Structure 1
């Protein structure tokens, strides 16, 4: 499959399936045309991708057949210039397929109708920039120079909000005198509370509400409560990107084999002049050449009325007679 929005796209308004759909093509071209016709929408349409999926033909055979199928009026590559409301623009190449054989004039009208078309829904992916409201990662704390003494480093460092919240519990209730070791040990749990939307007051209340008259192990009690009363994770709110309208502002035909387009070369029947000459040099474009009359069955009087012209000759006996006459038998 091609990327979303690319690949095989139906030109629409097709006739129902029928045996004569591709009768005007050579047997190989018709087989590949039937194969392409049955590919689902969005399938990659490059000759390499089709050759990789086809059980019988390789890349060069598929490439030549796609060229003749294009000239026959079943396939067109069209470049569409897309403009979005945020003023971003890009060119995209679409592959349009028609089971029904179309004339060059029909394809020209089809391309003109694409101009100005609103393609917001069809081409949303790749055109709308999604900007998530992600918080910037916190900057790493600047490292203290190695020559700084331990005392100076301790004075420079500021306690985290989680550590300070645990240290302040002692002031809220004297029965929870958490030591420096307790605060450092429980700092990660308190930080998790804060990351989930809890406030320092929420942590303090969780550690001091309903305390027994005497607390023998403040650090253990604090750990138990921080773990068991942990609030749920805060749901991530992602800012939904606004849908920006997208519209086709220019349409040009492109060659189905080399990707050249009308800006640089003339496109004839879906191919540039060079690729068209290459396809025509390989054989019939989309119709069978008539069989010469000399190859068709005819009257046996091919001897111009000469005696014996209508005689039926046994080839085996004639050969044996000639060999006997030559002394070979």
Structure 2
């Protein structure tokens, strides 16, 4: 059996979904998964990115929920998400909707396995279609890895190295049409007969017979980008790496006397039982 070139971590299980229409959204035109997608990140960020990458769309992406399913605290996850945003893998956005005649905001977290620069994110989130062609070599490499792994999942579909190479092209076409590894594997493995006499022919027939349709080009919705760290809407070119000037460090903080004055106002208001006028923001998906 061919040695697998793609080591995939288990799909996160029991992770809750966000409210309908909210939560994770996968960015388009990503390179196929290769197992080395996050090697450029620190270990913590790479681990969290790998987990987020395998979550289904509309999964709950709030820090509180992620902390329940990852071996990191909320502060660590918040910092990691900021770093992933700065590295081009993540953007938090919101869009206005009307529910039962009442306007409200719907929050999303876009995630891209392929790191993007600010220009790409700006074009995509403004509703423009970015031109990003996945590398065919990367698609073939990922396809080979999936095919090689079939025999480890079920020995009835064990393929030789030459057979994996021969099936690379039809398997890579699945990725070109927007399918993920899980979808490809499910299509090939579903309803296996008790005995598969010719694994190569069987897999080839499944790949060709169940090939997804070519994607229909659609214009992306227009979103308002918010700061990954503080959740405040961006202000034109002030956003950098999905972070506002204050959270990125590009805007100077308050002077010491201003901080002391504000702290005194808050203490006085609390002693007097009055509201300070500030509101606590809830965790967003």
Provide TM-score, normalisation by structure 2: 0.46
Larger radius of gyration: 1
